[in-house]
A and B are shown apart, each in its own frame.
Chain A
């Protein structure tokens, strides 16, 4: 405080230096001291005032009610209300279910069973992974999660990494069976598609096929750069899965007698549901639009299955070039050369759905 007062004196001293002849006081020093003491007394008084006021205020703010013993005991013995995630065992069940579905699909596919058998498998996968687990096995999300995991392994769970790697392993040995059994997105599109599908013109199809590859790089870049889920935003079916999941969750809570929210849950807004409706209508005519236009995981699966051990082929001796399989294929993986003599299956795009087995009268599909 003394330092503060000294600082305050500086401008007055400067004024004295400017006009020294006018200041003629008898006891200048005494006057100065007296004035300083006056200021000091003022400061001290103000300080005391504030201290007393703040102490008084603090007394008022403090809750001076005594805590009764029973409330004190209640607070001491309070058992926290806990909300749990689903148990870790559910994730093991997920893994088991995925392995089971893909194994059965592999068996069906190798034995060339009718495609309706695989449709039941897809239905099971859709109901379990899509609606019961809320679209948990999302190929798009798995890709992004894996990319994030490459940047920082502690940021993703290992179950997610296994969920990402398992279909790749199956794709190496048996082709893309994940697409026709475990994937809820693929199952939804496959089941809601017309049997007599519209085939895209070859030139458009060859361009459109490049989109997932571009999106795979975009997804990896976005995930590694800043944890962006670029491809997740293009997944329009998630609103359906989330809504179904929330409804099943609420139903189970209602059975238990716990929380029931007063409003009907609809995940997503009007725009999202409109887009979903449009894509579903598109998917009725052009089968699997998401798989063919967007899915970045399909590119990885296709690459692995191209390298892989099992290749679906058409027996040239049995084939009679009716091209029924080419018209029926939902992903346009079968193509014939312009002369129409040689019909071949692209391992990259074939999803092992078995529709070509249905229509081939000579049972000409091998592998």
Chain B
């Protein structure tokens, strides 16, 4: 009698535990709610900076557990105005064009902003990009570009460098809640949807 009672309790325990776990699993694998912000598509998630909310403080550089930080600056070449004097490149803007490379005081403490002449000689068009091997994500160039310039530079968390912590240290530290947990997607140097006022060259497209 005692044996059968023990067996009964044991089996009912199994059934209850199994049902509980099945219920939890069903909850997890259920389709997302209708008002969900996005559909997960069976993928894992990653933390990424929302450029609309980002105010380019240097929290990414300081907070990221990885040193140098996985957050890097990028320049959107479609949006860039290709100026001779780039606000994200040098501090002393009243300088002769031919002395920028030699005498310009760099914004970037590690000289990671690359400047390359494209056409038009010394007062022509310049291409700007970032050397990510040197960039630490301090966002000084991005801040200058967004405050005074075209706003073509922006910060991203490079997914191939990101360690994928469960709780992103940048998201905890970010004062503007700009770091969001979104489905994994490749990150490119395209800042976002352009408005007409954003870039002068868009006028030619009509």
A and B associate in one complex: yes
List residues of A whose CB falls within 8 A of some B CB: 62-63, 65, 67-68, 70-72, 74-75, 78, 80-86, 88, 91, 134, 136, 138, 141, 144-146, 149-150, 152-161, 165, 168, 227-229, 232-233, 238-239, 242, 245-246, 249, 259-263, 265-268, 303-304, 307
Interface string of B112-140 (1 = CB under 8 A from A): 00000011100001000000111000000
Q: What DSSP secondary structure best describes chain B's contact surface?
A: loop
Q: Is the CB of A62 within 8 A of B200?
A: yes
Q: Is the CB of B119 within 8 A of A134?
A: no
- Considering the chains assembled together, what is the distance between the CA atoms of A146 and B25 in angstroms? 9
Q: Which of A78, A134, A150, A232 contacts B27 (CB 8 A)?
A: A150
Interfacial chain B residues near A75, Cβ < 8 Å: 77-78, 201
Q: Is the CB of A249 within 8 A of B161?
A: yes
List residues of B whose CB falls within 8 A of some A CB: 10, 13-14, 17, 21, 24-25, 27-33, 36-40, 42-46, 65-68, 74, 77-78, 81-83, 118-120, 125, 132-134, 156, 158-161, 163-167, 181, 184-190, 200-201, 204
- B17 — nearest CB in chain A belongs to which residue? A307
Total of A-B residue pairs, C-beta within 8 Å: 156
- Considering the chains assembled together, what is the distance between the CA atoms of A136 and B163 in angstroms? 9
Q: Is the CB of B167 within 8 A of A265?
A: no
- Considering the chains assembled together, what is the distance between the CA atoms of A90 and B132 in angstroms? 25
Q: Is the CB of A67 within 8 A of B204?
A: yes
Interfacial chain A residues near B83, Cβ < 8 Å: 63
> Closest approach, in angstroms, between the C-beta of A224 and any C-beta of chain B?
12
Interfacial chain A residues near B159, Cβ < 8 Å: 83-85
Q: Is the CB of A138 within 8 A of B158?
A: no
Q: Which of A83, A136, A265 contacts B187 (CB 8 A)?
A: A83
Q: Is the CB of B160 within 8 A of A161?
A: no
Q: Is the CB of A134 within 8 A of B28?
A: no
Q: Which of B67, B132, B190 contacts A263 (CB 8 A)?
A: B67
Interfacial chain A residues near B165, Cβ < 8 Å: 232, 238, 242
Interfacial chain B residues near A74, Cβ < 8 Å: 77, 118
Interfacial chain A residues near B77, Cβ < 8 Å: 74-75, 78
Q: Known: A155-B181, A245-B163, A307-B14. Contact between A259 and B133, CB under 8 A?
A: yes
- Considering the chains assembled together, what is the distance between the CA atoms of A363 and B131 in angstroms? 63
Q: Is the CB of B186 within 8 A of A84?
A: yes
Q: Is the CB of A165 within 8 A of B119?
A: no
> Closest approach, in angstroms, between the C-beta of B139 and any C-beta of chain A?
17
- B131 — nearest CB in chain A belongs to which residue? A259
Interfacial chain B residues near A82, Cβ < 8 Å: 186-188
Interfacial chain A residues near B33, Cβ < 8 Å: 153-154
Q: Is the CB of A157 within 8 A of B65?
A: no
Interfacial chain B residues near A150, Cβ < 8 Å: 24, 27-28
Q: Is the CB of A153 within 8 A of B13?
A: no
Closest 6 A/B residue pairs (Cβ) = A80-B188, A157-B44, A154-B32, A229-B167, A141-B166, A85-B159
Q: Is the CB of A85 within 8 A of B66?
A: no
10 contacts between A and B (CB under 8 A): A72-B201, A83-B186, A86-B160, A149-B27, A150-B24, A154-B36, A242-B65, A259-B132, A259-B161, A261-B68
- A159 — nearest CB in chain B belongs to which residue? B44
Interfacial chain B residues near A259, Cβ < 8 Å: 132-133, 161
Q: Which of B13, B40, B163, B166 contacts A154 (CB 8 A)?
A: B40
> Closest approach, in angstroms, between the C-beta of A136 and any C-beta of chain B?
7
